[in-house]
């Protein structure tokens, strides 16, 4: 991934926070059959392996798990908050007009050796962990045990587990850090004026990463 120094993030905890907040990532493999990409929900096990372990599952008819079993190179792309930035926001537009549109975004990429897993106990444990991860914020969280065991067991036979030991982790937070100070403030103002939740999240990210939390 192209990472200009302004936007490069190496803080593992910050990268892990993005991965946890946006668990639906793009699983990309390159094997004998070429490139395959699928959106897949992941569970991060930060304390396992040297740099963490990612676990997920694929539908058995999905050929990607066979590519992984055959040793395909594997990349996982987590996409965080993103927002279009109009040049109309820039204070420098009034000065010289030499401004163009851009996009602010947060992304994390993880690479590492992957394996396909068909063990029923492993799959059941993973499904419980994934469900708990997504249901935790709910007042009355659903649990795997809420469904009949034979039903869950039958569905489990239709999936294959995926485990990736993270060997390389890179992050890019493009949040207007490279703009003049006045532009940073005007981007923050533009985002803050937009009531949409993603704009409000992006405004906070710009405030923290481009303005040091001072605005």
pLDDT digit string, tens, across residues 164-190: 999 999 999 999 999 999 999 999 999
Q: Inform me whether the pLDDT recorded for 94 exceeds 90.
A: no
Calpha distance 74→54 (Å, rounded): 12
Domain segments of the chain as ranges:
8-82+103-176
> Residue 215: what pLDDT?
58
Average pLDDT over residues 59-64: 97
DSSP three-state, residue 25: strand
> Residue 93: what pLDDT?
87
Calpha distance 11→14 (Å, rounded): 5
What 89-95 contacts at long range (C-beta under 8 Å, 24+ apart), as own/partner pairs, is 89/183, 89/186, 89/187, 89/189, 89/190, 90/179, 90/183, 90/186, 90/187, 91/180, 91/182, 91/183, 91/185, 91/186, 92/179, 92/180, 92/182, 92/183
Helices 197-209, 181-192: inter-axial angle, 10-degree rounding: 160
**214: confidence class by pLDDT, cuts 50, 70, 90:** low
Calpha distance 124→142 (Å, rounded): 15
- Please give the share of the chain, as a percent, with pLDDT higher than 70: 99
pLDDT of 136-154, one tens digit each?
A: 999 999 999 999 999 999 9
Q: Inform me whether the pLDDT recorded for 69 exceeds 70.
A: yes
What count of other Cβ atoms lies within 10 Å of the Cβ of residue 7? 20
> Residue 95: what pLDDT?
85
Closest CA to 82 of 192, 175, 209, 210: 175
Query: Among 2-11, 44-53, 62-71, 92-101, which is the least confidently predicted range?
Result: 92-101
> Residue 139: what pLDDT?
97
Mean pLDDT computed over every residue of the chain: 96
Does domain 8-82+103-176 correspond to CATH entry 2.30.110.10?
yes
Average pLDDT over residues 109-131: 97
From residue 32, how far is each of 76, 111, 162 by CA, in Å?
Answer: 19, 18, 18
Q: Inform me whether the pLDDT recorded for 121 exceeds 70.
A: yes
pTM to 2 decimal places:
0.94
pLDDT of 185-205, one tens digit each?
A: 999 999 999 999 999 999 999
Q: Token pair of 33, please?
A: 């059959």
CA angle 51, 55, 60 (to 5 degrees): 150
The pair phi, psi for residue 161, each rounded to 5°, is -80, 155
| Of 99 and 23, more confident | 23
Yes or no: say if 100 and 137 are a contact pair by the CB < 8 Å rule.
Answer: no
Average pLDDT over residues 12-26: 98
> Residue 205: what pLDDT?
97
């Amino acid at each position: 991934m192209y990472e200009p120094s302004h936007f490069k993030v190496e803080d593992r905890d910050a990268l892990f926070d993005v991965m946890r907040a946006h668990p639906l990532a793009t699983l990309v493999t390159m094997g004998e059959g070429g490139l395959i990409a699928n959106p897949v929900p992941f569970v991060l096990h930060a304390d396992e392996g040297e740099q963490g372990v990612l676990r997920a599952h694929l539908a058995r008819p999905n050929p990607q798990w066979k590519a992984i079993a055959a040793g395909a190179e594997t990349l996982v792309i987590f996409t965080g908050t993103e927002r279009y930035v109009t040049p109309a926001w820039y204070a420098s537009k009034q000065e010289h007009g030499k401004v163009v549109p851009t996009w602010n975004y947060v992304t994390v990429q993880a690479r590492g050796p992957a394996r396909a897993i068909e063990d029923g106990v492993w799959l059941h444990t993973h499904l419980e962990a994934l469900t708990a991860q997504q249901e935790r914020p709910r007042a009355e969280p659903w649990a795997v045990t809420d469904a009949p065991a034979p039903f869950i067991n039958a569905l489990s036979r239709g999936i294959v587990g995926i485990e990736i030991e993270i060997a390389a982790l890179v992050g890019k937070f493009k949040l207007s850090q490279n703009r003049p100070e006045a532009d940073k403030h005007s981007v923050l103002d533009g985002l803050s004026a937009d009531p949409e939740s993603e704009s409000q999240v992006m405004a906070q990210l710009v405030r923290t990463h481009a303005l040091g939390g001072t605005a």
